Structure 1
Amino acid sequence: MAKAETEPTVTQDGEAPKKTWKRHVWDSLDKSPEERHFVYKLDLLLLTFGCLGFFTKFLNQTNLTNAFVSGMKEDLNMFGNELNYAMTAFTVGYIIGEVPSNILLTRVRPSIYIPALQVVWTGLTLCSCAVTNTTGLYVMRFLIGLAEAGYYPGLQYMIGSWYRKDEIAKRACILNASGSIAMLFSGFLMTAATRLGGRGGLPGWKWLFIIDGIISFPIAIASFIFLPDLPQTASRRFFTDEEIALAQKRMALEERKTREPFTAAKVKKVVTSWHIWLLSFYYIFISGTGGTPIFPQYLKLHKNPTYTVQQINLYPTGVFAVQAVSAVAYAWISDTMLNGRRWPILLFGATLNLITWVSLAAWYIPEGWKWTCYYLAGQHVGLSGIAFTWANEICTDDTEERAIVLATMNTAVGVVTAWLPLLVWQQVEAPQYRKGFITASSLGAICLVLIPIIKVLQDKEIVK
């Protein structure tokens, strides 16, 4: 069963640590020298290379939109809903791959499997510069989605397999922030790529995909070398026997179970538990509004003033800055000020989401507030790491369930975003997107109901 949110973390010796102001700066500063050194080494390997890989994943994912508004639309004759279809193709591949990938991750070495995914999507990204029509683009985006599917839920599963309760939210949110930084960087990268337009007979948007591949490939190769496995299968290349024993003891103290066989009883337990259903539905309602370039489209279609291609690429980068800052801020507040409680942050974020989407649904609001809402809409991404942290903690007593639930949460969002944009975020209705903003407002309202329900059910399990 899940542990109480306010239960104090214990040291490797089984005693409650003495808490000082240092934990508000970084959690490992309050730990013993041995454990502090171990966590530092773990951060250097898992967190660093996980974030670098996630950076390249989101760099590629975001650059489709940047390429679209920077010449691809005209070159591939994408004047209808073709951008929606390309995004849907990616999402379908993502949906198909996520759950099988995370199940496989509980049985194979992550240090081989996850970097292999990176190599595949890097190669496909490079091939994207060769597409000459929308059919080729759809096929390429589907394959890239399939390759990228296992990365994010896989990294969240690994974070939940190595870190303790007072450590996990920061790492999960730092991982999310690295994706937001990639999206922030993407706008500047596109601005630079446009200056290469014409070199080698290629337009700037094709150079963007080439640059993506050049950035991603060395990170994928380095991940083969430095990314660790799980505590039960960790290599002695980077960790000593004592550190591996410490890692396993840390997880035992958190009541985080090790691998068990997949049986009919286990599958039944997973699919009949409220964990997989309510957590997945919640994640749909908090993340189902993403994936639509509403701000760039607003700028592209804006009149008086008319914005340049460079401005269209650069101004929305502020949204990604909000994503990164909110992810880190939410993690620190949840871990320190709220003593490990996740639901208050999620409830606050859901309320802010609702205010933002309702304002944009009204549309005829002051221009300054409209821009503010576009930027604030990015904070819902900052909640993602907290949501996955909560899921890791709720499912702490079953590693297979934890892997499946984490992947299913992400898959559920993909299932919705595969078709929802085609109905409510249609490119031809830009920039007002009335149906989209009303739908987003409705999903935000449902979140305000689901979060207290999940908290009550979690408390009941703790009592048992």
Structure 2
Amino acid sequence: MATIADPGVSPTKGDDIRTTAVGIRDSDQEDHVEKHRQHLLGIKLPRYFDKDEDRRLVRKLDLFLLTYTTLSCFMQTLDNTNIFNAYVSGMKDDLSLFGNELNYFSTTFNCGIIAGAVPLMLLSTHVRPSIILPTCELAWTFLVMGIAGAKTAGAVYGLRFAIGFFRESRSLALLRYLAHGILPLSWEVTLAIDRMERVGRQPIQKITWSRFKGIWTTWHVYLFVICYFLYGAFSWGDGYFNLWLQSLGKYTVPQLNNIPTAGQGAALINSIISGIVSDWLQNRPVVIVANMLLCLAGNAFVAVWEAPEGLKFTGYILITAGLPAQSITIAWLNEVCQGNGALRGLIVSIGNTMVYAINAWALVLLFPAVDAPHYDYGYQVCAGMIGLAIVTVGVILFQIKRDLNNGKAIRNDEGLLEFKAWTAEDRDDQEEQASNPSHA
């Protein structure tokens, strides 16, 4: 049977609270922890490997969700790069693409994302993920396969629009349910709910008109969206890595496709390191800024076109290596906004919509295919916008500190933020549901 925290027991910091079971006093808690501690050759393993029910649930979720999301994101990465790989591998000549068609492929893709992002995010509050995720995955898969048979640029435009619609809808649904939590089965439901209650995490809520209007009265939606889209929209300069390599005239087609994967390898390693460090430090903003600085430096290196080849190569690698800033920003905003389920989902949806709305036209201006691989001001603009994203992180931290100082927010026993306005709103909702059970 799942263990539930005793409301009469004073919560403790960090992971220790998760071991508090019904009837366990604070004085007995250490013995309870040691009872479930795992050892290897006499050495205590990290708490993650404990054999209590709480840790088993976490490991089970990690096993299934991490496997699924890793494969899904891997395919998404291939989809992000395949159009560029195809372009330098013969598609340019086969389809007679001698203008800015490569840019328009990205534009139509971004327009598809814009068309589906917010509507399908709202739909996800009414339809369970077991329907949304596989539907979008299958539709996206068949559409990507369809590009292989495209004979004209116009056919590619249409397919790219539809791919963007289903791919990003699938991504948003996945992010939303990872952020809010997916309830497991049977006895684990109680434990899963208890874990969310311990940290003050509110569940997914249907968005009503009054709740929707209330979202726009908070600073969170504005500052987090600005931070999200400034980095997300201007951190894609690495997509033109293989065009630069092609201009050097000394690499084969396989090399043009393989060499840029060095950046993705760097991003993979950095993602693991950044995730571990941000958890260890319990400080998301520091790691976010560090990764943004990597991307900013990479754009700055590439912007100096007279620089040595080695410096430009390093620049392209750094642009890609800084990509974890986006995912850690999502983790940070979900922690800060944990008391408002509707706001958490809406920020990511609006942020993604703005990212692709900007990219729908900005990429044509900043990185016109006819000017490849030397762009007059593309990388300079990207570096400047990422710099503004770093400033926005500082503004968010200032606003959080101000809310803590004036009593609008507190830190709970887990060290996470709780905003009093959202707590009151949740209490009012619970009272309304109690008085009107038919509408619960």
Asked if the contact 1:347/1:448 (under 8 Å) is kept, the reply is yes
CA distance 1:296–1:268, shift in 2 (3 Å): same
Asked if the contact 1:101/1:149 (under 8 Å) is kept, the reply is no
**356, 359, 363: which is aligned to 2:301?**
359
Asked if the contact 1:286/1:380 (under 8 Å) is kept, the reply is no
Mapped partners of 2:128, 2:340: distance in 1: 19
CA distance 1:453–1:120, shift in 2 (3 Å): same
**129, 142, 146: which is aligned to 1:127?**
146
Work out whether 1:144 is the aligned partner of 2:88. Answer: no
Mapped partners of 2:394, 2:38: distance in 1: 30
Work out whether 1:268 is the aligned partner of 2:210. Answer: no
CA distance 1:99–1:396, shift in 2 (3 Å): same
Partner of 1:295: 241
Work out whether 1:117 is the aligned partner of 2:136. Answer: yes
Mapped partners of 2:297, 2:121: distance in 1: 35
Look at both structures and tell me which one has the larger radius of gyration over its CA atoms.
2
- Give aligned-pair identity as a percent: 30
Partner of 1:203: none
Partner of 1:315: 259
**259, 266, 269: which is aligned to 1:325?**
269
CA drift at 1:370: 1.5
CA distance 1:425–1:26, shift in 2 (3 Å): farther
Mapped partners of 2:146, 2:225: distance in 1: 34
Asked if the contact 2:278/2:287 (under 8 Å) is kept, the reply is yes
Alignment of 1:65-214 (within 5 A): 65-162=84-181
**Aligned partner letter, 2:230:** F
CA distance 1:7–1:346, shift in 2 (3 Å): farther
Mapped partners of 2:247, 2:276: distance in 1: 38
Asked if the contact 2:267/2:323 (under 8 Å) is kept, the reply is yes
**Aligned partner letter, 1:350:** M
Report SS of the residue matched to 1:434. coil
CA drift at 1:460: 3.4
Alignment of 1:37-76 (within 5 A): 37-76=56-95
RMSD over aligned Cα, in angstroms?
2.4
Asked if the contact 2:298/2:317 (under 8 Å) is kept, the reply is no
Mapped partners of 2:112, 2:99: distance in 1: 22
**9, 15, 18: which is aligned to 1:11?**
18
CA distance 1:31–1:406, shift in 2 (3 Å): farther
Asked if the contact 2:172/2:348 (under 8 Å) is kept, the reply is yes
Asked if the contact 2:291/2:323 (under 8 Å) is kept, the reply is no
**312, 336, 339: which is aligned to 1:394?**
336
Report SS of the residue matched to 2:187. helix
Partner of 1:438: 380
**336, 357, 360: which is aligned to 1:415?**
357
Mapped partners of 2:291, 2:105: distance in 1: 30
**322, 342, 346: which is aligned to 2:284?**
342
TM-score (norm 1): 0.77
Deviations 1:204-259 (A, max 9, x none): xxxxxxxxxxxxxxxxxxxxxxxxxx22xx4xxxx3x2211101110111211123
CA distance 1:26–1:116, shift in 2 (3 Å): farther
CA distance 1:88–1:449, shift in 2 (3 Å): same
CA drift at 1:21: 12
Work out whether 1:286 is the aligned partner of 2:231. Answer: yes
Of the two structures, which has the highest relative contact order with CA contacts closer than 8 Å and spacing of 6 or more?
1
**Aligned partner letter, 1:335:** D
Deviations 1:86-138 (A, max 9, x none): 11100110111112222211221101211110010111112212211001100
Deviations 1:254-294 (A, max 9, x none): 21112334222211122232222211111222121244522
CA distance 1:27–1:54, shift in 2 (3 Å): farther
Asked if the contact 2:295/2:319 (under 8 Å) is kept, the reply is yes
Deviations 1:414-439 (A, max 9, x none): 11111110111111222122310110
Partner of 1:218: none
Mapped partners of 2:218, 2:401: distance in 1: 15
Mapped partners of 1:77, 1:7: distance in 2: 63
CA drift at 1:57: 2.6
List structure 1 segments (4+ residues) > 6 angstroms apart after TM superposition. Answer: 14-22
Report SS of the residue matched to 1:396. coil
Mapped partners of 2:276, 2:56: distance in 1: 21
**362, 370, 388: which is aligned to 1:428?**
370
Asked if the contact 1:285/1:446 (under 8 Å) is kept, the reply is yes
- Larger displacement relative to structure 2 (386-395 or 363-372): 363-372
CA distance 1:117–1:430, shift in 2 (3 Å): same
CA drift at 1:51: 2.1
Asked if the contact 1:28/1:35 (under 8 Å) is kept, the reply is no
Report SS of the residue matched to 1:149. helix
Question: Which sections of structure 1, spanning at least 5 residues, go unmatched?
Answer: 1-5, 163-229
Deviations 1:19-53 (A, max 9, x none): 9999xx99752655211211121122222112222
Report SS of the residue matched to 2:398. helix
Mapped partners of 2:212, 2:51: distance in 1: 39
Q: How many residues align?
A: 379
Mapped partners of 2:383, 2:391: distance in 1: 13
